[in-house]
Amino acid sequence: MLILFYGFILSMGAKILSDGSELLLELFPKWGTVIGALLLPILGAVPDAAIIIVSGALGTPAEAQIQVAVGVGTLAGSTIMLLTVPWLASMHLGRCDLDDVGEAIDGRCTGFSLTRQGISVDEDTPTNAKIMLVTSISYFIVQGVAFAYVNDPDSINAKKYEGPFALAGFIVCFILLIAYCIYQILVPKLVEKREARLEQERSERALRLRALHIVEKWTSSKSRKDGKGETAPLFGGPINGGTNISLVTAQDQSHAITLAYGLKWKRRALDMDEERGSAIDSFANDEAQSHHGEEEEEEEDPTKHFTKNIVKAIILLIIGTFIVAFFSDPMVETLTDFSGKIKVNPFFVSFIVTPYCSNASELISSLLFAMKKKRENASLVYSQLYGAATMNNTLCLGIFFALVYFRDLAWAFTAETLTILLITWIVGAVGAFRQNFKYWIGIPVFCLYPFSIFFVWFLEYVVDWA
């Protein structure tokens, strides 16, 4: 129950951080590239980073050596989960029919096929996968030395030689993080995708509000009876004796809602008597006169009340950071105690639990965005997945190296490191050299998630690389 409670609180903190950072991006459109390249990726990695910090920074060195397994599980679980589970989920929700050359046809999805359906991404998405592969090499800075002491990681010689390499790894990760942020500023493809996503979501909200306004006006009208004296349903029933409204489809759900109401109005206008038609015309005229003003009220430009919104964004960032920082420590302690009770390595518990707590809001948002079934949406989703793994390879891994050096911890994570590298390289190789993916490719990618848990167990308890 505590794990569920703290997990929910951490996911809410991550959501608040995301909302605050996106509001900043809307408030400073001219600085969108800098905010999108520096602030958003770092804030997105804050929940994972906080868990890693408290797992090794608090308590005695002996306690830290035990609890840091939770931090390793968070690092490995977050990276591997993001590269496997949403990879297939986004493929399933965003799949489209493939044309003769294997490219996805935006918005068209007929039935289900493993080989004739899939997704396509832009030319910049493979670049993000390549960057992820390059940054993953940082793991070898300490692991290369740790191989010599793989069967005795707690020895004095192991700590003596691993310490300086851990410091070097921290510096290298910090340099790679800066280089990645600079690249995002100079080549702001991913930032532009994020901005386009925010603009699209804003337009969809306005469209949904408009549709709801039409319903509100309709239900408040006194003339809700059809020609037979029965209340006409808002949905259902043939239009002019033809297509049923429930069969109407559209690429975008919001457009479908508005289209449905429009067709229903058309049917009623044709079927109702002259008096009824006059009432509809009067209502339509009223709608036309108030349309412009209501749209402005429904979806207000965030820069209109700049001071109010900037204060709101700052408060959201402060609250989100506080929640994540404050509840990370009890979450780590609870996971450690729970793993002790069930006699399971804390790594495995953290591997499964914490990634969903720290990435839940972004994961759900990405999946909803993938449902639009467009190339640009798929490109953003997969670019963000590779970008999140890159942040883990730089910011989160750098923090972990710092803990090993400053707390004098043993690098007893050979199995975990090799597993992260294996999954990263496989998924990275799949995404780095192609832009079109058939649906079936997502299945073996997803299977890497349970395989990674087995692989760590095999290396630790069979090969004895604990």
Residue type, 387: G
Question: What would the mean pLDDT of 331-359 be, rounded to a whole number?
Answer: 83
Which domains does the chain carry?
A: 2-200+305-461 (1.20.1420.30), 223-298 (no CATH)
- The whole-angstrom separation of Cα 354 and Cα 51 is 9
Ramachandran angles phi, psi of 304, nearest 5° = -65, -40
- pLDDT tens-digit readout, 106-120: 888 888 888 899 999
- The whole-angstrom separation of Cα 146 and Cα 125 is 34
- pLDDT tens-digit readout, 38-65: 666 777 777 888 888 888 877 787 888 8
> Helix or strand or coil: residue 352?
helix
The better pLDDT of the pair 130, 186 is held by 130
**What pLDDT is recorded for position 170?**
92
Q: Both ends of the chain: CA-CA distance in Å?
A: 30
Residue type, 201: E
> Helix or strand or coil: residue 434?
coil
- The whole-angstrom separation of Cα 377 and Cα 93 is 11
Question: What would the mean pLDDT of 274-280 be, rounded to a whole number?
Answer: 49
Per-residue burial over 353-368, b if 16 or more Cβ lie within 10 Å, else e, is bbbbbbbbbbbebbbe
Question: What would the mean pLDDT of 201-227 be, rounded to a whole number?
Answer: 59
- The whole-angstrom separation of Cα 51 and Cα 45 is 10
Does the model's pTM come out above 0.75?
A: no
Question: Could you give the percent of the chain with pLDDT greater than 70?
Answer: 68
- The whole-angstrom separation of Cα 331 and Cα 324 is 10
**What pLDDT is recorded for position 39?**
66
Check if the beta carbon of residue 30 is closer than 8 Å to that of residue 348: no
- pLDDT tens-digit readout, 388-442: 899 889 998 999 899 888 888 888 888 888 999 999 999 999 999 988 999 999 9
Dihedral sign (CA 224, 226, 231, 232): negative
Whether 454 has a pLDDT exceeding 50, the answer reads yes
- How would DSSP label each residue in 197-260? HHHHHHHHHHHHHHHHHHHHHHHHSS--B-TTSSBPPSS-SBSTTSSBGGG---SSHHHHHHHH
